[in-house]
Amino acid sequence: MRQAGIWNARRAARAYVIRLGITTPSQIRIEAIAKRVGALVGLKLRVVDGPLDGADSQLVRLPAEAVIIVSTRIRDPASRKFVIAHELGHLVLDHPSLPPHKIGEAGSVGSMPDHLRDFEAEANAFASELTMPYSLVRKWCEMAPVSLDVASRIAKTFGMSILASAIRVAELSTERCAAVFSSQRRVVWSAESALFTIRIERDRPIADGSIAARFWDQGAVDARAGRVPARAWFETGANIQIVEHAIASQEFGTVLSMLWVPEEHARALGMTA
């Protein structure tokens, strides 16, 4: 049920991309889109800034109006774009409103049981599809080798964050790849492509031998992609290497890695189609 809800969210967003005639990145002006979508569902929709306790954004439904409140803490245009699209997803997918004490508790990647719907994951899927449409980015995600260069291109072209763009690459890639975000030398979240069938669990320690580990050991990471032992990321006895491309934030103490398993090593890792 969880995955079905996410696929439904993506289909809904794709339908709006078609209905609104979005064919270029320059047409994705999210506040204008939000108002048009609101009108299509019979509501006046406003986007306002305001103080929010513990949440980046909130959807308020009124009888003939909907209001998307964006926290005044959100100053990055890419983050603002995504949270508006996220709340719009809650609206068009007709998600139940959360009680005040639950607002901001987004389901982490992979944290919900499969038999339950994850409304936050669905809203994220809707936002990702709306701001980085399948029809406009899919060809970029079908090439190999896979690195963060594609995510950087998407981020720049569509005005999105590198994190959201890396997840989008993983969602659409036809290769065995995964975006992994880590902090304090532990995995915070991961997003895997359909063919990347090994789950990288949340809170997994970042192992020696990975490029990500070099950030905490040396204070920096290589700018280029490099080969690392597969055992740095997987529980495996196979003596093979995979490709990792990473960027680090000195300010926040975080690392974003893109992992890619070349086809010739897939069988040794149990990643068979």
When pLDDT is cut at 50, 70 and 90, the band that residue 115 belongs to is: low
Average pLDDT score over residue span 163-185: 97
Cβ distance 117 to 2 under 8 Å?
Answer: yes
Residue 123 in tokens = 């809203």
Instruction: Sort 261 into a burial class: Cβ within 10 Å, 0-12 / 13-18 / 19+.
Output: buried
pLDDT tens-place string over residues 6-53: 999 999 999 999 999 999 999 999 999 999 999 999 999 999 999 998
pLDDT tens-place string over residues 241-261: 999 999 999 999 999 999 999
Class of domain 2-131: mainly alpha
Would you give the DSSP letter of residue 195? T
When pLDDT is cut at 50, 70 and 90, the band that residue 237 belongs to is: confident
Domain boundaries, the chain: 2-131, 135-269
d(CA 91, CA 66): 8
Domain 135-269 is found in CATH 3.30.450: yes
> Is residue 104's pLDDT more than 90?
no
What is the residue-wise DSSP string for 209-223? Answer: TSHHHHHHHHS---S
> Is residue 64's pLDDT more than 50?
yes
The percentage of residues in the chain with a pLDDT greater than 70, rounded to a whole number, is 93
